[in-house]
Amino acid sequence: MTDMLTPVLSAQWGEDKSWKLARYEATGGYRAIRKAFDMKPEDLVSLVKDANLRGRGGAGFPTGMKWSFVPQDNPNPKYLVVNADESEPGTCKDIPLMMANPHVLVEGIIISSYAINCHTAFIYCRGEVLHVIRRLQQAVREAYAAGYLGKNILGTGYDLDIIVHAGAGAYICGEETALLDSLEGRRGQPRLRPPFPAVAGLYASPTVVNNVESIASVPAIVDNGAAWFQSMGTEKSKGFTLYSVSGHVKRPGQFEAPMGITLRQLIDLGGGMRDGHELKFFTPGGSSTPILTAEGLDIPLDYEGMAAAGTMLGTKALQVFDDTTSVVRTTLRFVEFYKHESCGKCTPCREGSWWLVQLLMKFEAGQAEEGDVDKLLDICDNIGGRSFCALADGAVACVTSAVKHFREEFEQGYHTPAWELFPYEKSALFAVEGDPR
């Protein structure tokens, strides 16, 4: 039985100068690349496959399998692009990871690049996180100076460059093909697949796009072995991972645990819900994953558990809302996010997200009309699955799941404003003038 929490990536967070090369090396950093360079690239791919590391960016696709799709007989250069465009509402794990321990990502990139025979890797980091970008830039500079990057790394004859790239504010660039267009200096709009990036990605060359946490997990796997990684987690969801708890709990935060911990356990670790309040609903993995209610408290937070509950593990971003919260209000806000972030390429998403916002504003104001709940679902039906990428599916998942669990609350929007049913100041963390509490 493994322990309740298993800090690996977060083990050194908070230590003095944890982001510096010297500190990382002092705690075993850059040991794994030496092991990796003693292995054949294809054996590294097999190792990560055997570990059953699944992508931590939301989709859960097996990382080693993604690597194995890179056609090594393709004459073009191979590229690794780290997706550090963390923007899914609720998701806040990669940002602290890169701020406190950027070198574990750099080391992961070196190993992963070597495994897929790539000599130029990119870290595409969202632009809105200045200090994280500073730390990434510095970590890469330090790694060059130490001979971990550049030409003939550690005398192996292997060359690798890493480019730290700041985005410019677009959630859609977290979608891997939109990210590639953005990295080519274009508007970030998703591409039609196939061809998949592994075949024709950046500059139409074979490209692997992996999430920060996925790549950062690679050094520990190389260092400790696939069996060690497999010894954590549930039957089909292996390893350690970062769970991000936010919202109406006493103490929100990051929890690195074996796959399959439950929300009840996480809330207990966070000291429980706010005093005098109960859980009303939560997102298991960001706002694009269908919401669950208290009935989901004891379901293992792994890929299978969440799929069986009709939702997705996503980015393991647990946004917890208590009984003061209007589900109509949060649904509107989530959809406003998708409306703002829709890239505009596909009509159902571009237009449909606007229609959803208009209709949800009427629900919030208590001015929806009899039958509008069905209209809402009908619009969702015409958006989901009808666009190039998953943004549209995320935009409707929060609506359909909210209606499924709280239909009566939406129907109250036919006559009563949400702010009368659920006075908004009661949901805030601080007292507001005139609020007696």
Partner 1 sequence: MSGHFESHFPESGSVDYSDQSTNIDETTIAELRELASRYPQPRSALLPMLHLVQSVDGRVSPRGIEVCADVLGITTAQVSGVATFYTMYKRRPAGHHHLGVCTTALCAVMGGDILLDRAKAKLGIDEGQTTPCGKVSLERLECNAACDFAPVAMVNWEFFDNMDPAKMDELIDKLMNGEEVVSPRGATLTSWKEAERVLAGFPDGRADEGPSAGPASLLGRELARDNNWNAPSADATPAAPEEEAAK
169 makes contact with partner 1 (CB under 8 A): yes
Q: Which residues contact 311 (CB under 8 A, 6 or more apart)?
A: 284, 285, 289, 290, 291, 292, 296, 397, 401
Contacting partner 1 (CB under 8 A), which of 69, 71, 72, 131? 131
- Applying CB under 8 A, which part among 181-189, 207-215, 304-312, 408-416 lies near partner 1? 181-189
54 makes contact with partner 1 (CB under 8 A): no
Contacting partner 1 (CB under 8 A), which of 213, 256, 364, 409? 256
437 makes contact with partner 1 (CB under 8 A): no
In angstroms, the Cα distances linking 23 to 8, 12, 19, 48, 162 are 15, 9, 7, 26, 21
175 makes contact with partner 1 (CB under 8 A): no
Of residues 226 and 306, the one with the C-beta less far from partner 1: 226
Cα 340–Cα 396–Cα 377 angle in degrees, nearest 5: 125
7 makes contact with partner 1 (CB under 8 A): yes
- Applying CB under 8 A, which part among 108-116, 304-312, 319-327, 371-379 lies near partner 1? 319-327
34 makes contact with partner 1 (CB under 8 A): no
64-93: which residues touch partner 1 (CB under 8 A)? Answer: 77, 86-92
CA distance 101 to 135: 9
CB of 239 within 8 A of CB of 230? yes
269 makes contact with partner 1 (CB under 8 A): yes
CB of 396 within 8 A of CB of 334? no
CA distance 84 to 98: 9
Q: Least distance from C-beta 308 to partner 1, angstroms? A: 26
Tokens of 357: 């916002």
201-240: which residues touch partner 1 (CB under 8 A)? Answer: 203, 223-228, 230-232, 240
- Applying CB under 8 A, which part among 38-46, 108-116, 143-151, 379-387 lies near partner 1? 38-46
Contacting partner 1 (CB under 8 A), which of 54, 66, 103, 135? 135
365-394: which residues touch partner 1 (CB under 8 A)? Answer: none
Contacting partner 1 (CB under 8 A), which of 341, 364, 372, 409? 341
395 makes contact with partner 1 (CB under 8 A): no
Q: Are strands 292-293 and 317-322 parallel, antiparallel or unpaired?
A: unpaired
| Crossing angle of the two packed helices 391-412 and 327-341, in degrees rounded to 10 | 150
29 makes contact with partner 1 (CB under 8 A): no
184 makes contact with partner 1 (CB under 8 A): yes
Contacting partner 1 (CB under 8 A), which of 114, 321, 406, 410? 321
22 makes contact with partner 1 (CB under 8 A): no
CA distance 15 to 40: 34
Tokens of 400: 């359909």
CA distance 190 to 389: 6
**Main-chain phi, psi angles of 64, to 5 degrees:** -60, -35
Chain centroid to Cα 31, Å, comes to 27
Sheet holding 120-125, edge to edge: 161-166, 120-125, 79-84, 207-211
Q: Least distance from C-beta 411 to partner 1, angstroms? A: 20
288 makes contact with partner 1 (CB under 8 A): no
166 makes contact with partner 1 (CB under 8 A): yes
Tokens of 70: 């890179």
Of residues 54 and 345, the one with the C-beta less far from partner 1: 345
DSSP 251: S
